[in-house]
Amino acid sequence: MTAASTDAARPSGPSASTKGDRTRRRLLDAAAAEVARHGRAGASLTAIAAAAGLKPGSIYFHFGSRDQLIDAMLEEGVRESLARLDQALAAVNPAHSQAQPADPRARLRAAIRAHLDALADLRDYAAVVLAPALARDEPPGAAFRALRGAYLRQWSALVADAQAAGVLAAGVPARTVRDLLIGALNQAGLAGRPPAETAAAVERLILLPPDPA
């Protein structure tokens, strides 16, 4: 079945769409767990379908191929992380306008915690997206690269704003600080350390004052 015929065959209507979305998410979650354990090359569609409670052939109702399923899983992991970051930043001080953003210190703290929470809640996705073999085995597609680029640009802007406000030391390129900070968060998160504990430690390390809450 081709991708085009998959879309054409999908049932219409609110209930069908909702059921299809839930099934699609089960497949993405199962694919993340399977690829995290066995790598992209070793991932089994039969195992993914079984974990999602489906027959192997049912996968093609939602995805045109094995690679399409894995690519969609990679994109979903970054897309959800980006959505969590956006939500965390918006919640820092919703009364502020775009022209008057919230305190860079508060925004950086919110980003740190959103990143760690995403690592904990999306552990299988994170393990795949951050695996060194990702680029080596089969480079991700353009959609994944665009989402990852958007996420990293958000972080670069957060770091640059914090440096400009004196929250972080200036003199080191924002991208370098971003990569060092995200790298430390990733290592701690994938090691299974509690997000709140790691957040507090990182905030002390970069001299953010304790959260009054």
DSSP assignment string, 67-103: HHHHHHHHHHHHHHHHHHHHHHHHHH-TTS-TTSPPP
Domain-terminating residue out of 43, 64, 85: 64
Q: What is the pLDDT of residue 8?
A: 33
* Listed residues 64, 87, 103: the one ending a domain: 64
* CA–CA gap between residue 101 and residue 120 (Å, rounded): 28
Whether pTM > 0.75 for this model: the answer is yes
Q: Domain boundary at 36, 64, 92, which?
A: 64
Q: At what angle do helices 142-164 and 174-190 cross, to 10 degrees?
A: 110
81 and 163 share a domain?
A: yes
107 pLDDT band, cuts 50/70/90, is very high
**Same-domain check for residues 37 and 108:** no
Residue 105 is part of a domain; what is its CATH number?
Answer: 1.10.357.10
pLDDT in tens, 142-190: 999 999 999 999 999 999 999 999 999 899 999 999 999 999 999 999 9
Residue 197 and residue 92 share a domain: yes
How many domains is the chain built from? 2
Percent of the chain at pLDDT exceeding 90: 69
- Residues 93, 39: contact at Cβ < 8 Å? no
Query: Would residue 192 count as lying in a domain?
Result: yes
Q: How confident is the model at residue 68 (pLDDT cuts 50, 70, 90)?
A: very high
Residue 11 pLDDT class (50, 70, 90 cuts): very low
Q: Are residues 1 and 98 in the same domain?
A: no
Q: What is the pLDDT of residue 72?
A: 96
Is residue 122 scored above 50 in pLDDT? Answer: yes
Read off the CATH number of the domain in which 18 is found. Answer: 1.10.10.60
* Contact present, 85 and 60 (Cβ < 8 Å): no
For residue 52, is it within any domain?
A: yes
Within a domain: residue 105?
yes
The reported pLDDT for the residue numbered 197 is 93
Phi-psi region for residue 205, left (φ > 0), alpha (ψ -120 to 50) or beta? alpha
The pLDDT of residue 141? 86
Residues 106 and 142 in one domain: yes
**Do 82 and 178 belong together in one domain?**
yes
In a domain? residue 69:
no
Query: What's residue 31's pLDDT?
Result: 97
Are residues 55 and 155 located together in one domain of the fold? no
What is the average pLDDT across 74-86? 96
Write out the residue range of the structural domain in which residue 11 sits: 1-64
- 45 with 139: CB under 8 angstroms? no
Give a yes or no: residue 70 inside a domain. no
Mean pLDDT rounded to a whole number for the chain: 85
Cα separation, 82 vs 33, whole angstroms: 20
Same domain, 87 and 170: yes
Q: Has residue 122 been placed in a domain?
A: yes
DSSP reduced 3-state for 6: helix
Residue 57 and residue 121 in one domain: no
Q: Are residues 197 and 99 in the same domain?
A: yes
Per-position DSSP letters for 138-173, written without gaps between them: S---HHHHHHHHHHHHHHHHHHHHHHHTTSS-SSS-
pLDDT at 87: 95
Q: What are phi and psi of 52, to 5 degrees?
A: -90, 0
Does 47 share its domain with 92?
no
Same domain, 116 and 151: yes
